Every structure is written in structure tokens, then in C-alpha cells.
Chains A and B, each alone.
Chain A
Amino acid sequence: MGKVINIQPITRIEGHGKIVIRLDDAGNVADTKVHVQALRGFEQFCVGRPVEEMPRIVCHICGICPWAHHLASSKAGDGCFGVTPPPAAVKLRRLMQSIAYVGDRILHFYFLAAPDFVIGPDADYSVRNVVGIVQAAPDIARQVVKMRQQATTMLEHFAGRAIHPTFSLPGGVSKPMTEAERKEMIPLANELLEFSKFSMKFAKDNVFPKYLDAIKTLGVIEVGYIGTVREDGTHDFYDGKLRLMKPDGSYDDFSYEQYTDYIGEWVEPWSYQKFPYAKKWGKLNLSLDHPTGVYRANCLARINVVDRMATPLAQKELEEFRAAFGRPAHLTLLYHYARLIELLQSAETMVELLNDPEITSRDIRAKVEPKAGRGVGCIEAPRGTLIHDYTCDEQGLITNVNLIVGTTHNNAAICLSVDQAAKLCIKEGKYDQGTLNRVEMAIRAYDP
């Protein structure tokens, strides 16, 4: 029995996990496991809660993408009570989601992922972090912090809370936007759009070219993809139908309510996180040589499944991306590239919505009466498709909850990517801390 390498905690990600790599006697990788150790039990403790309280309970699933859970839950609540929110409420929900997205994408790219690219994957861990970034590129760091703060301020001034919001409810939202609030936000939004454009250019000029080799060697897994598209196949963060794409690029489109026909969840004895898989593609197989049933979510998945982006600048970037990497693009590190294309779309959407006169309408909440029902609410969170499925009784109290959340979709793919990275990087017992960090980079790409 060879050596065991414990990489714990997995760092610069937003969860709790441990990578265990077992080497054989020759020092080559025999087996790699990613153990997800957290379990909180939202599916159980939400039972009994009033449907209208759910958006402000389940946002606590994730402090990085609380808005996504908040909105998926509101949509599930709309479904339970059988109500359609007025158009302005939907626009305000979309606006909040776009602002939160911009803040989130900036955070991940510069603070969590960039240390590997800007400081370098082999640098000592004491400098390979956000503090290192601040020292290496102080002007950019200052700008990043300022832009993030700006997104946060926009959310807080209008909706009270940037983290764990209370603004959206079944039937709509809690307050309208005044003309004064709209006017105050426009210049801030324009500035964020300019910074998003800068980030895209900065990455394409300075970051991606240097690491193109790493991008090409650190893992290609040919698996499927999931994302939300509008009726005509356009990218949409907030609403549409689900599209599940096979590794060869063919796909099925289906409505939210049909998700159980297409997605199953498998339990492995070595992880608390379940393994969603594409039911129609056969049984889940996690072998690196012949994976089956495995699909990925999050930005690269969305960029692969959509026919086009929703906004002009993002569409231009998609065309360039597809010309270079094809569709579907399978290189794991392209997640970073795809993330910035989505940053651009979020920023453009934000500006677009703020210039829509209907956004200041006072009609922002449909009449809601408790009744028995079921609602499946989906949202594209930064980390992937959220599925919130609620059933309630005649008093509008929850009787059943099912949740499949962003990173969970990626569980199987993350395991494959980490196994692959370990096998590529560790040979004949030779590895150092830089090697092990490269293994973690495979997981970081998914921004779990």
C-alpha cells in the first residue's frame, strides 16, 4: 500500500471539502476522492415553514449567491400559490440578480482564481492569495474592491440587504423603484459595465495567453452540460427552459416541472454531497476513461448550451470563444473565460433594465392567497442551475422540499477533473506543493 496525500481544507473555494489521493507502490495515482463534508438538512427543516418565508430562509444555503436562492425560492412560491408576478416585479428581480452577479464574478476572478494566474500556481502559499494580489497589482486591487463595494451598495441602498435578502416574495417584490433611485443607480451601473469590459480585455491580453498551455493540459473531460435558455435558445439567468446537452453537442429541452424525468441523484458512501446525473444517458459511471451520466453546470455549461448570448458585447465574446474552442468546449479551465463573458452580459443587462421605463411601475406584487400547490423554481446561480421544488398544504405551509443546487450538479465532474489532474501531475512519487495546488486548481475552476 502506497502513500496517502490529504489535501485539506480545499482552499479558495466556498465550501468544505477534502481531497484524498492514494498512490500505488510506484508512486502513481491509484485513486482520488473528493469528500464533501458539510450537510445541513434544509430539505427537512423547511418543512412546516410558510411558503412566503422561504425566500428569506433558503438564501442562507449560500452566502455568496444568496440572491440566486432567494429568487429561485420566490419563483417556487409563485408556483405554489399559482400567481404570476407583474412585469415590473420580474424586472426588479432580474436587476437585483444582475447586480449580484457582477459583484460575484469580480470576486471570483480577482480574489479567488487570480492568485493562481497572476502570482503563479507554484508560488508559495503565503503570497499566492488576495494579499499577494494587493501587493502585486495595487491599482487593480483598489479598483476591484471599489467595484465590488459599488455593486454591494446598489443592492443595499435599494433592497436593504446585499447578503441574505428579503426583497423578493411569492407574487413579486416588497417595494417599487422610484425614479430618484433609478437615476442614482444608472451612473454606478455604467461604471460597473466599463469595469467589466476592462476585465474581459485584461484577462484576454494578460492572463489567458500566459496560461493557454495550462488550460489545455489541466483537464479535458468530455461530459454533458446543463443551463437555462429562452424559448429561442438565448442565454437567460432568470427564466426559461432547461437544456441538457450531451457531450457530442446534441440536447434535450424540458420545462422545470419535468426535471425528475431527466435528472436523478445518486448517493456515494464517501461524500455527503449527492451526485446528480443525466438519467436518460444510462447509469452514473465515475470512471475517468468512460464517464457516463455526468454533466456540468455553471458558466462554461451555460456558454456551451446556449445558441446565443442575450446582449451585444457578450454575444461578440461568445462568437470569438466558439471560434477558438468550439461548441461544446470541454477544457475545464475555460470556466474562467466563460465566467467573464457572463460578467459582461450581467453588466449589460443591468444597464438595459435601468433604462427600461417600466422598471419604476408601482404594480409590483400580485395578490397572493394561501392554497395547496406545488412550484418548481429554477434560476441560473453563478455556480449553476438551482432547482427549488416545493409542495405546500392549503394553509400555504411547506409539506415537501427538494433542492438541487448549483455546485451539486458539478459534483461528479469535479471528482473526474480532480482525479484527472492528480494523474497528470503526480508521477512516480514526484510532487511538491505547486503540484498539489495544480490539483486544486481543477476544482477551483468550477468555483464550487
Chain B
Amino acid sequence: MAVNVASEWLNACSGCEISILNTGEALLDLLAQLNFVHIPALVDHKYYGQLGDGTTLEIPEATVGIVSGGVRNTEHQHVLEELRKKVKILIALGSCACFGGVPAQANMYKPEEVWDKVFRGCISTEPAPNPENPNLPKWTTTCQALDEVTKVDISIPGCPPHPDWIADAILALLAGKTSWSLPERSVCDSCPVIREKKSGGGSIKRMLANAEFNPDEGLDKMRCLNEQGIFCMGPVTLDGCCGKAGVPRCVQARTPCRGCFGPIRKGSKPMVDMMGALTSVGLDPKTLVDRRAIMNRYIGAHGYLNVVPARPVR
């Protein structure tokens, strides 16, 4: 028997949905077990009836609800609350839904600053008042994660989440389980690079030059990026970006992690922990450029990022 699924995207980029489609041939077997009653990316079910004459926003009942994107406006709130009412298990899919994601970088600014810039401060735009219309939902004060608005049962983090975990979580639900989570390990646990627990010391390098490595050799022959003096969020980031096998995705490109899977456990303080990790290899955390924004790139909801009057400290 297929399980009914209702899915939505809120303040999102659609990368999570593309990641679902990237499950490959396993997708076809998975699709056979799921019955999507609502998913705007793929199916034409409408909020106000198929003839557009309804007066209230409706989403059909389903066993599982999957939501990507954070909450940025009143309509996102409304859709999320309606969906919560109609589903038994709610899955927050991706780092925007779990932690606010990159769009929550906006939490460093007052909403009016953002609007001022977009509609009156862009070089090619003819300055105009903010658009206002009954069909345009108002912004909420901040960009929020789903669990700041409603109860979330399962979180699948990642930007995007690895298709392995999406399939794994859904198969667990199909098998009758009601919870699912990734093991609490750090990205370093699946990273094969050489670690000697010390760096050359001094200032943290920006990615203005590439890491040092021999392209003909594997990652297991490359020195840890933090130990090369290049800022990498691996030590404080939840492991899993490479799926069930493989190496961390960013490191595969010989580039550092920026924390897209979020903190290793709920309530931890990645910024504090990361400062400790940098200090422990002899680097000076104060030399990290644009520290606050970079350390909270994917987790700006939950009050991790907020408005400070002056320009971010370098």
C-alpha cells in the first residue's frame, strides 16, 4: 500500500527537491511506494481547488508531510500550519527548514534595510515604494526554521540533504518507524585527510589560493585544510554530506566545509566550538575574516544570527 505524502517548499531554492530527483533509479522504486497528494514541484494540486474558486487554503490529509525551506513570510506560516494539521509525521527537509539556511543570513539585517536595498538601492532598479498587495504575503520579522513555528518530527539536514538520507528516512517511515536521525558524528569522522593536530600557526588563510595537494593522490594524502591554515567547519559540523559512503563533498573538490549539515547536536554552539578547534591547531580565530557570517552560514535561524548595529566585525 502506498503512503500518502504532502510536500511543500517555503523559503527555499528547490535544491532539496532536485536532490530527491537525484536518488537515481532508486527513485522509481520509491515513487511506486509514495502517493503524492500535494507537491507543487511535481503535481498540480491547488490550494483553492482545481477551479480556483475556493476561499480557504487547503492541503489534503496525508501520513507524511515533507517541507523544505524556512519561514520568511505570513503565507509560509499559514501553509506550514495547514500542512501540520493534515499530516501525522512532519519532516523538515534540508538546512533552510532545519536551521534557516543561507537565506537566514538576512537575519543580520533589519527587514527594512533589506527592502530598502532591493527596491531602492540597486543600480539598475528605478527606486519605488515596497510592493504591497493583498496577494503578496508580508515578511515575518526574521527568517525562521520550521521548529520555531510548529512541531517537527524528523529533521533531514543538509544543503542539499544527501539523497541516501532522504531515501533512508522515508524507508524507515514506510517500515513503521516514527523517528529517524543521523548519527552524532562530525564531518572530520568521514574525512580521510592527514591530521597532525597542529598547523603552521598564525593567521587564518582565505581561499585566495588553492589548498596544497598532489592531484594524482587521493584525499588520504592531503593535509587537513584547517592544519593548512584554511578555515574549514568540518570539526563542528554534522557528518553525512557524502551519504552512506564516500568523502565529504566540499573536501572532494579540495575546498573547505562551510557547515551545511548544521551543528553535530541540537543546542550546541558551533561558533564557540569552532573557535576552540582553531585554537587547538594553533590558529588565531580573531584573524578569520567575516567571522560571524561565515560560522553561521547555514544556521542563522534560532537566534544564531541577529541584527547588530555596526558592520560585522572582521
Contacts and interface: CB of A to CB of B under 8 A. Distances in A.
Interface of A: 3, 5-12, 14-16, 18, 20-21, 33, 35, 37-41, 43-45, 47-50, 52-53, 56-57, 60-64, 66, 107, 111-112, 125-126, 128-131, 134, 141-142, 145-146, 148-149, 152, 156-157, 159-167, 169-171, 174-176, 178, 259-260, 263-272, 274, 276, 362, 364-365, 367-370, 389, 395-397, 400, 402-404, 431-433, 436-437, 440
B36 to A, nearest CB: 7
A48 B44 contact: no
Contacts of A272: 131, 136
Contacts of B249: 156, 160-161
Nearest to A81: B208
Contacts, number: 285
Given A45-B106, A267-B125, A6 B133 contact: no
Contact of A268 (B12, B131, B215): B131
A276 B211 CA distance: 40
Instruction: List the 8 closest pairs (A to B, CB-CB), nearest first.
Output: A63-B15, A160-B252, A160-B253, A267-B128, A149-B24, A41-B114, A125-B44, A63-B13
B209 interface: yes
A421 to B, nearest CB: 14
Contact of B50 (A141, A149, A433): A433
9 contacts: A35-B133, A41-B106, A57-B105, A264-B125, A269-B132, A276-B124, A370-B208, A404-B124, A436-B51
Contacts of B101: 60
Interface of B: 9, 11-19, 21-22, 24-25, 27-28, 31, 36, 40-48, 50-54, 72-73, 75, 101-103, 105-106, 108-109, 113-115, 117-119, 121-126, 128-129, 131-133, 135-137, 139, 159-160, 206-211, 213, 215-216, 248-255, 258, 260, 289-290, 293-294, 297, 311-312, 314
B194 to A, nearest CB: 17
Given A166-B253, A175-B253, A270 B22 contact: no
B15 A50 contact: no
Nearest to B113: A44
Contact of B159 (A5, A39, A164): A164
A169 B209 CA distance: 9
Contacts of B102: 57, 60
A64 B18 contact: yes
A7 B51 CA distance: 8
Nearest to A18: B135
A268 B114 CA distance: 18
Contacts of B215: 175-176, 178, 362
A422 B246 CA distance: 50
B243 to A, nearest CB: 10
A161 B118 contact: no
A59 to B, nearest CB: 9
A405 to B, nearest CB: 12
Contact of B124 (A18, A148, A259): A259
A436 B52 contact: yes
B167 to A, nearest CB: 13
Contacts of A259: 124
Given A3-B53, A125-B50, A267-B126, A39 B132 contact: no
B123 A45 contact: no
A148 B21 contact: yes
Nearest to B10: A16
A62 B46 contact: no
A267 B11 contact: no
Contacts of B135: 18, 20, 33, 35, 37, 270
A153 B108 CA distance: 36
A170 B210 CA distance: 11
A20 B136 CA distance: 12
Q: Which of A160, A175, A178, A403 has the most CB of B within 10 A?
A: A160
B136 A368 contact: no
B48 A11 contact: no
B258 A50 contact: no
B46 A9 contact: yes
B93 to A, nearest CB: 12
A233 B131 CA distance: 39
Contacts of B19: 63, 163
A129 B11 contact: no
Contacts of B108: 45
A162 B22 contact: yes
